[in-house]
Structures are given as structure tokens and as C-alpha cells.
């Protein structure tokens, strides 16, 4: 699949928490940092990933906001 996003990071899946429709996939990336992705269970199944797998994170966002 071709995507326009240029921000790509390789990491390892550390945890997958499944709900009834969605799931949270946590990924450890270089520099001992973490990122997470929320997706449908259908998308998780199509990707065929599991804990311990190495994945590529593609980041494309219009806005990223952090507030305290």
C-alpha cells in the first residue's frame, strides 16, 4: 500500500488490549519511548500482528495537541 506520510518509525508491539469493537496496540520505539494506535478488531485481524512483532508506525496527523 502506498501512503503519503513520510514520518515512519519501526518498533515492537508490547501489548494489545481488545475491546468489543476496537483495540489498543502499544508499540515500543527507539530511545525507550512508546506509541499506541487504536483500530478496529477487523483491522487488527487483517494486519495479522501479535505481541512481539516488529511493525512500522506511519504517522500522519493534521494536529497533535498536548495540554496540561
**CATH code of residue 21:** 2.40.50.100
Q: Is residue 64 part of a domain?
A: no
Q: What's 3's DSSP letter?
A: -
Q: Is residue 62 part of a domain?
A: no
Domain count, the chain: 1
% helix / strand / coil in the chain, to the nearest 5?
10, 50, 40
- Residues 55/36, Cβ–Cβ less than 8 Å: no
**Residues spanned by the domain of 45:** 7-55
Cα–Cα distance for residue pair 56/6, rounded to 1 Å: 12
pLDDT digits (tens, 9 = 90+) for 6-58: 778 899 999 999 999 999 999 999 988 999 999 999 999 999 999 999 999 88
Q: Is residue 61 part of a domain?
A: no
pLDDT digits (tens, 9 = 90+) for 22-33: 999 999 999 889
Q: What is the pTM of this model?
A: 0.81
Amino acid at each position: 500500500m502506498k501512503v503519503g506520510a513520510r514520518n515512519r518509525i519501526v518498533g515492537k508491539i508490547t501489548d494489545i488490549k481488545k475491546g468489543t469493537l476496537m483495540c489498543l496496540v502499544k508499540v515500543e520505539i527507539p530511545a525507550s519511548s512508546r506509541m499506541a494506535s487504536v483500530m478496529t478488531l477487523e483491522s487488527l485481524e487483517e494486519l495479522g500482528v501479535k505481541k512481539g512483532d516488529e511493525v512500522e508506525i506511519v504517522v500522519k496527523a493534521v494536529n497533535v495537541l498536548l495540554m496540561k
